[in-house]
């Protein structure tokens, strides 16, 4: 018996969630994490930190539970968190955001993105332009919203898009240009030219810009630049971020979106019926986090950069060719010299071969473009130093094999 509706079965199959026979296709992330457990391999596949974040943030959540913040919060999020988000945007980016009408607290950045797409996509004629490789929820959420995904490739060595290819992909059918910066999985931070071109094209074709800035405080070569700060951008941009990566609380799922009041209202109409609200005691705790001193944020980026350097050196010693990340949790490495021209097969064998788990970049690419990324592997650097050092020792065995 088919228990999944035809419409959703087609949607889910299109997004790679279901096999053609209607079975749930385990994601490569689930498959690799299971392999890590089965083999005792170090899991550098999934991007979550293995250390707690700042004590004052954790304490604030415990406090909030003790003080009784355990029932539904307001639909837009508690006023103190919305104010803290507004203060944060002013403090780091000089953006003016009205906490009452221009901010919405969501169940992670994922809900903010999905609600945005569901609210703004009107049907199969509406296109969403994304850079490829892309975070895996994008294709699924566009499919769920009934829109069409249009991809612009990020190419080696620096994973910046070609400006002509970008311009050719944005048309009057483009409803949303979705930009993840700093970028998962490539570690790219987009150049000023790319950012300006996104804004120019959005204006020329009357498209909305949605950003995914979950790694905003993990930018290594200079301060993060939200697209909303560019001239002509704020009035058509929904800026999305979350607390998970910034405060090492990926399980709390507190995110937010801010932008023009009319767009936020549109997103709210969907969010209202997805989760309505979430994370009562975590909301005040994230407000505490957002008000932490500057040193917290700069130290977090410096510490992660140090880990990337450790991981990068280990990968090169093992025989990989590495790409230097400009931001975010991940280092991308080319496994071709190690017999990994097919990175998916290489990653499936890696737990047994070297006791380490990683994810092939093809997991973030539409099936028809996988060949372009076939030898590339993504490794997470957001792990304790001793874990990375042990991973380095294990990876070194690849060179000697």
Ligand X SMILES: Cc1ncc(COP(=O)(O)O)c(C=O)c1O
For ligand X, the binding residues (CB under 6 A) are: 47, 108-110, 135, 180, 184, 212, 214, 242, 244, 250, 253, 255
Q: Which is nearer to ligand X, 218 or 315 (CB)?
A: 218
Which C-beta is closer to ligand X: that of 135 or that of 159? 135
Q: How far is the CB of 357 from ligand X (least distance, A)?
A: 16
67 Cβ contact partners less than 8 Å away, ≥ 6 residues apart: none
Under 8 Å CB-to-CB from 117, ≥6 apart: which residues? 128, 141, 142, 144, 145, 147, 176, 210
**Is the Cβ–Cβ distance between 388 and 311 less than 8 Å?**
yes
CB of residue 106 to ligand X, shortest distance in Å: 8
96, 190, 197, 222, 282 from 230: Cα distances, Å:
13, 13, 11, 17, 31
How far apart CA 105 and CA 340 sit, in angstroms, is 42
Helices (H), 184-260: 192-204
**How near is the Cβ of 268 to ligand X at its closest, in Å?**
17
- Minimum distance between the CB of residue 386 and ligand X, rounded to whole angstroms? 23
Q: How far is the CB of 108 from ligand X (least distance, A)?
A: 3
Q: In terms of CB distance, is 120 or 318 closer to ligand X? A: 120
Shortest distance, position 50 Cβ to ligand X, whole Å: 15
Nearer to ligand X, 325 or 355 (CB): 325
What residue is closest to ligand X based on CB?
108
Rounded Cα gap, residues 85 and 105, in angstroms: 9
Map residue 290 onto helix, strand or coil.
helix
CA dist., res. 75 & res. 209, Å (int): 24
Based on CB atoms, which residue is closest to ligand X, 17 or 318?
17
Nearer Cβ to ligand X (257/338): 257
Could you give the CA distance from residue 48 to residue 2 in angstroms, rounded to a whole number?
Answer: 35
For ligand X, which is the closer residue by CB, 184 or 354? 184
In whole angstroms, the minimum distance from the beta carbon of 135 to ligand X comes to 4
The string of DSSP codes covering 296-342 is HHHHHHHHHHHHHHHHHHHHHHHT-EE---SBSSEEEEE-GGGT-SS
């Amino acid at each position: 018996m088919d228990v999944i509706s035809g419409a959703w079965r087609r949607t889910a199959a299109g997004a790679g969630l279901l096999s053609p026979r209607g079975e749930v296709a385990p994601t490569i992330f689930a498959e690799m994490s299971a392999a890590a457990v089965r083999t005792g391999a170090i899991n550098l596949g999934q991007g979550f930190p293995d250390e707690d974040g700042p004590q004052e943030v954790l304490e604030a959540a415990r406090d909030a539970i003790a003080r009784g913040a355990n029932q539904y919060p307001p639909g837009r999020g508690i006023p103190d968190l919305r104010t803290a988000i507004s203060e944060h945007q002013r403090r780091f980016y000089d953006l003016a955001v009205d906490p009452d009408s221009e901010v919405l607290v969501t169940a992670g950045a994922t809900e903010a993105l999905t609600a945005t797409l569901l609210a703004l996509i009107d049907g199969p004629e509406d296109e969403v332009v994304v850079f490829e490789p892309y975070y895996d929820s994008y294709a699924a959420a566009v499919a769920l919203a009934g829109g069409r995904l249009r991809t612009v490739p990020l190419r080696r060595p620096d994973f910046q898009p070609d400006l002509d290819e970008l311009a050719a992909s944005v048309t009057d059918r483009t409803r949303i240009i979705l930009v993840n910066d700093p970028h998962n999985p490539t570690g790219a931070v987009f150049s000023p030219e790319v950012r300006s071109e996104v804004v120019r094209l959005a204006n020329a074709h009357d498209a909305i810009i949605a950003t995914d800035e979950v790694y905003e405080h993990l930018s290594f070569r200079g301060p993060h630049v939200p697209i909303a700060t560019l001239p002509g951008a704020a009035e058509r941009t929904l800026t999305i971020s979350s607390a998970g990566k910034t405060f090492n609380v990926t399980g709390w799922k507190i995110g937010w979106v801010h932008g023009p009041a009319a767009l936020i209202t549109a997103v709210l109409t969907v969010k209202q019926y997805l989760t309505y609200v979430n994370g009562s005691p975590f909301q005040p705790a994230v407000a505490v986090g957002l008000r932490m001193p500057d040193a917290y944020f700069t130290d977090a980026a410096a510490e992660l950069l140090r880990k990337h350097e450790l991981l990068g050196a280990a990968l090169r010693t093992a025989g990989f060719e590495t790409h230097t990340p400009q931001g975010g949790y991940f280092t991308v490495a080319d496994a071709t010299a190690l017999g990994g021209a097919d990175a998916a097969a290489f990653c499936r064998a890696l737990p047994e071969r070297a006791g380490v788990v990683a994810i092939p970049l093809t997991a973030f690419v539409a099936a028809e473009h996988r060949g372009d990324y076939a030898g590339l592997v993504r490794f997470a650097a957001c792990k304790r130093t001793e874990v990375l050092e042990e991973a380095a020792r294990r990876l070194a065995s690849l060179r000697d094999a």
